Amino acid sequence: MDGLNVNAAQFEKLLTGDKPVLVDFWASWCGPCRMMGPIVEEIAKEHTEIAVAKINVDEEPEVAQKYKIMNIPTLLLFRGGDIIKRQIGAISKSRLEEMISDL
């Protein structure tokens, strides 16, 4: 695994784990996605109670399609394999922390 970047198989394995999973769907050509990258990485370091992953929609289009990702960045929060929160567009770190705070 390259840092937080995962492929489809690694992602499915994360979803079956014990921790809630925060996923950042992104692409290298997307400006707002590049802004979110460092924020998502900070969250991963600071919140070890959750699993954090990034999925490049250009490299894993079938995963993006499966979860109906129409715009990027899109952040999905999973618990028990189910989506419990969806955030479309770039957000601040404090807003992202609010998103995961009630886990």
Contact in structure between 63 and 5 (CB atoms under 8 Å): no
Q: Could you tell me the CA-to-CA distances from 70 to 11, 26, 57, 67, 74 in Å, in that order?
A: 19, 11, 10, 9, 8
Catalytic residue list: 30, 33
Contact in structure between 79 and 16 (CB atoms under 8 Å): no
E strands of 5-58, at which residues?
A: 21-26, 51-56
